[in-house]
Structure 1
């Protein structure tokens, strides 16, 4: 439901006073705690609404026409920082295969949950699609802050911290820094000033990693957007591990925040973890497996989704005996135990959890064939398993074993290599 607001002047009614001497008393002043006349609260001057919506239409037309000057002319000159970042944003988006750009009035109900600023604030939805990479256009909710009068309004901001927190908005690279874009063979790489010197090298590595995993995963488009920028705040917020231990992360991009429709799956890498050709290849293949699987592993326990990604990432470069020996050495004398299912996978001894999940997947495919992993994922996706006990029951129903029994057999298999 859209909520609209109307603001009314408040009339202060004073009781009549009996007059003496035939002359009226002087007018009593208004209460000292109230203004002499009513004024709209900050951000709520509805008299500016028509002019503000006309400005939104002007900005949308500028986006469609590719008219940078017209777009930036809608900004209040005194909002210097906003003008600077908007100019940077325009130049960034011009480097992207951006299409279907639009601006529209959003859900005005959100205005009850944000702090007012300027003369008028309105929720504005910005829509854009990366052509060839996004299945659907992506809409993000903005809060436009206007200043001016009924004749002319200008824009001073398009973001609101409260609204960002409520919607869970995470910035894309083009929102926070100047970007360099590389595009080759269905891979769109986004870099910043600190990573652009290695952009061509990393771009080639991403393409090679994509080609390496394609024969090992179910069919997918093979097209992907990858981020490699020095601002890792977004990665930090998405990761279940500390940022220093997070080398990369794959994530869905929703068509609308809070919605269920996925526009694309992308991944981002932490630049401090991309040195070294061997490790970089493993990292990129791992994240690309997550992208390739997309929503296919929805409902899967963490050990299965992460184990599959590691299994494919290493399988593309090492034969089965090499992997068995490497995993046996990494896991040492570890005793059999159940596999972690949720966020606990990333806590504590996360490296060993990754290795153990990798081993379990490698053992299952070696003894039952590659389809065992995809069939197990499909079972979790169809039936779900919200609790650890449900996971164990589903694994036993599909494989006839508990995860602890799988680990015991997998450890024995690895140590016999």
Structure 2
């Protein structure tokens, strides 16, 4: 597939058509009949836009013949890739799908054209708003140049330098979709055998987490969970908490409403489970799922909050359904205390070699806060530390202790509990 390099290019920016180019076209409507025009550049733009409308309609309606008419069938590899994409989206609960041509990005490539496309996709019951991403596609004319067919959706060089390109698993390879009450599971050929157990764990975990959280945080609603053996999607992520994806047990991923604004409003939060955790027993999987569901539920409440509190809270909530005598502790936590740590950790510690110990110790700091000040103090501290508030000041005002005292209290309670 073409990477967009070594091309003869010229931009097409028909000024008179600027307003028309900026106007979005809903997937469910549109007229494919060509508009009369004596302007060849306008015909190119109109032809590409007709193809985009037809592609969106075909995907929403699961119209395979209509979809096939939007792609050129000369490259077997590209056709196979597009067939996989069609099958993937056919399994998703699409509430909205739309492709818009960017106004000033159409570039000639011989007889074909490259153009940036804005994709708006919303999963019904799972995304609060459509998720907006960008891509760059190549279109070639038919022999009579009345239609323009898609020949590539891959421009590697452009994707590497563009923040708005945010592929999802269904964009990158074959997926198997399974749905349960409030859960949409995305699997691949290797992990789909575990789909029933994973979906059931997430579905039950939603209610267990909701029972612990205060009312103002509430139910996160539908949850999307990815469980993939194929590393392609994980390797496309640039904000993992660990440097080695093979060490990743699970992570909660915010999905921005606009991929070009990573720190902006979020359309949903999705959970990624490492495939190796599927080999663990059910209790371990359920606890891990509840941990991630807590992150999903906290959502924007946790923005700017130190990781020792957000991770400690996730652990605190995840063990509530487990009898106290059966709550496992990583031995790394006791070793960490024995090493002489004397204050709450910075966020960077959760990606370092002592990460497991810090997760457990942060949990026990939360246990100490709940036991000493009452469980509501946890949620008040969460609110107080939001948006990067001064940690020393907030903890001093709300709890009347220093951060070092707080760590010591958690460490002492942990040692007394586990001997």
> With structure 1 as the length reference, what TM-score do the two structures score?
0.81
Task: State the SS of the aligned residue for 2:254.
Answer: strand
Structure-2 change in CA distance of 1:359 and 1:235 (3 Å)? farther
Could you give the per-residue CA deviations for residues 180-221 of structure 1, whole angstroms, max 9, x where no partner exists?
A: 222111111111100111111222122222222221123124
Question: Who is 1:393 aligned against?
Answer: 393
Question: Who is 2:249 aligned against?
Answer: 247
Q: Is the 8 A contact 2:333 2:356 kept in 1?
A: no
5+ residue gaps, structure 1, are 8-44
Say how many residue pairs are matched. Answer: 371
Question: Who is 1:121 aligned against?
Answer: 114
Task: State the SS of the aligned residue for 2:319.
Answer: helix
Structure-2 change in CA distance of 1:379 and 1:202 (3 Å)? same
Question: Who is 2:311 aligned against?
Answer: 306
Aligned mates of 2:337, 2:344 — CA distance in 1:
17
Question: Who is 2:59 aligned against?
Answer: 63
Q: How does 1:195-274 map to 2 (within 5 A)?
A: 195-218=191-214, 219-236=218-235, 237=237, 238-241=239-242, 242-259=244-261, 260-274=264-278
Pairwise CA distance, 1:323: 6.4
Pairwise CA distance, 1:336: 4.2
Q: 2:179 matched to 1:183? A: yes
Question: Which of these residues, 95, 98, 105, is aligned with residue 101 of structure 2?
Answer: 105
Work out which of the two has the higher radius of gyration on C-alpha atoms and give 1 or 2.
1
Structure-2 change in CA distance of 1:47 and 1:264 (3 Å)? same
Structure-2 change in CA distance of 1:323 and 1:228 (3 Å)? closer
Question: Which of these residues, 153, 157, 161, is aligned with residue 158 of structure 1?
Answer: 153
Q: Is the 8 A contact 1:324 1:414 kept in 2?
A: no
> With structure 2 as the length reference, what TM-score do the two structures score?
0.80
Task: State the SS of the aligned residue for 1:151.
Answer: coil
Aligned mates of 2:326, 2:176 — CA distance in 1:
41
Q: Is the 8 A contact 1:327 1:414 kept in 2?
A: no
Question: Which of these residues, 137, 142, 147, is aligned with residue 140 of structure 2?
Answer: 147
Question: Who is 1:12 aligned against?
Answer: none
Aligned mates of 1:327, 1:343 — CA distance in 2:
17
Could you give the per-residue CA deviations for residues 252-288 of structure 1, whole angstroms, max 9, x where no partner exists?
A: 1112112322111110101112222222122111111
Q: Is the 8 A contact 1:98 1:129 kept in 2?
A: yes
Aligned mates of 1:369, 1:239 — CA distance in 2:
33
Q: Is the 8 A contact 2:250 2:288 kept in 1?
A: yes
Pairwise CA distance, 1:304: 0.8
RMSD of aligned alpha carbons: 2.8
Q: Is the 8 A contact 1:365 1:371 kept in 2?
A: yes
